[in-house]
Amino acid sequence: MNSRSFKVFHFCALALFLITACQEPTGPSKGSIEIACLGPTTVLESGAKFKAINNSEEVFWYYGYEDTLPIYTREIESDTGWVEDMVGWCGVGLTKYEFEPQRYFEFEAHGPIEEHGAWRVGIWFYFDEDSQDHEIFWSEKVLP
């Protein structure tokens, strides 16, 4: 490669880098999925019923055992902020479900076992069917 070819190559590589670096992020922004608490559940002890709403124009994906039984994480509010409260899923039989724009689904979640203050659940929503890029969207607080 002569010096002119080398310079052209570097110029093209730099231009490609700058074009890529200046593009808007392709992932959805926070707030495009809302998880609302609908109140206590009569089926699960200390649980609550939730409604996940896709308010965006983007398709998301999530894992679950059924389309209305998503894998979720749970946190308990403490004096220092939100603290993870292990739920524990085995993962056998999980399927990835599509969550279309302007759709919703309802699900129930177990509350913390021990005495606690407010708690919330979060669901991992993936930006692409084949990607592991994701964001956790959290419910509003559930009061004991």
The per-residue DSSP string of the chain comes to: --HHHHHHHHHHHHHHHHHHHTSPP-SPPTTSEEEEEEEE-SSSTT-EEEEEEE-SSS-EEEEEEETTEE-EEEEEEETTEEEE-------TT-EEEEE-TT-EEEEEEPPPSS--S-EEEEEEEESSTT---EEEEEBPPB--
pTM metric for this prediction:
0.74
pLDDT at 29 over 90: no
Tokens of 144: 């004991």
- Summarised one tens digit per residue, pLDDT across range 34-49 is 999 998 876 667 789 9
pLDDT at 137 over 70: yes
Q: Where are the domains of the chain?
A: 30-138
pLDDT at 12 over 60: no
Class of domain 30-138 as given by CATH: mainly beta
